[in-house]
Amino acid sequence: MPDFAVIIPAAGSSSRFGGPRNKLLETLAGQTVIARTVNAFLQRRDVVRVILPTALDELKALLPQDSRIIFCPGGPTRADSVHNGLKAAPESIEWVAVHDGARPLISQGLIDRTLAAAVAHGAAVPALAVSLTIKQAKGPLPARVERTLPREQLWAMQTPQIVRRADLLKAFASCPIPLSQVTDDVQLIELAGGEVWLVAGEERNLKITMPTDLPIAEMLLASDRGAAE
């Protein structure tokens, strides 16, 4: 498998988290959320850069002293931050992974199979089957149901999302919609007419979004430690 760079957007406001601090700075089993996320990639020899688009000065003191870590400005939207990260990556790097800073429990196996699928098909994303019934309606609620979507064809996206750097840069350049409407990194590849393949995600690869997600992540880590003993 090829070497790759990782872009970890860290410029969000954590508005849904609602706590006094940014969720990336919260402590999870003795480490900050962002440190756990970054360390999951730093332990890999095939990771040549970890790029953090951010305005959080505190991050530099929380992360390891590793020459592969570089910082660049965050943007007003996630897509803008990813774009900044792409432009900060050396041109010699062919493959990039974009990973949520708030997904600290990413496994090495999930990274491996997503990278393998990306190399085989050009772009790949881990996904989970949608288990809830999904209704389409024009919000806000109350609103009339327009239709029920067939959930066997619906998949919830996770990260890392892995794609060729050059392909993603071209997709940014040709994006037909405002970047504020781009909710998913590989959506840009789809809009440019490229293929995106899904691989099996993992339930434990949860995203810290609400305060209640932290104790769930703590329990998952405790379970890991128990299984290792």
The SS3 assignment for 57 reads: coil
Structure confidence at residue 54 (pLDDT)? 94
Exposed, middle or buried by CB within 10 Å (0-12, 13-18, 19+), for 119?
middle
Spell out, as residue ranges, where the chain has pLDDT lower than 70.
12-20, 226-229
In this predicted structure, what is the pLDDT of residue 60?
Answer: 87
pLDDT at 226: 66
Residues 90-110 have pLDDT tens digits of 999 999 999 999 999 999 999
Q: What 3-state class would DSSP assign to 198? A: strand
Q: What does residue 172 show for φ and ψ, rounded to 5 degrees? A: -60, -45
Instruction: Report phi then psi at 67, rounded to 5.
Output: -65, -15
Amino acid identity of 66? D
Q: How many CA atoms lie within 13 A of 130 on its CB side?
A: 13
Q: In the beta sheet, which residues pair with residue 162?
A: 97, 124
pLDDT of residue 17: 58
Distance CA 82, CA 10 (A): 10
Strand-pairing partners, residue 4, are 47, 95
- Look up the CATH architecture of domain 4-126+157-228: Alpha-Beta Complex (3.90)
DSSP 8-state assignment for residue 181: G
Quote the pLDDT of residue 16: 55
Q: What are the beta bridge partners of residue 54?
A: 10
Closest by alpha carbon to 71, among 38, 44, 115? Answer: 38
Backbone Cα Rg of the chain: 18
Beta bridge mates, 97: 6, 162
pLDDT score at 224: 82
Domain ranges within the chain, ordered by starting residue? 4-126+157-228
pLDDT, residue 229, reads 61
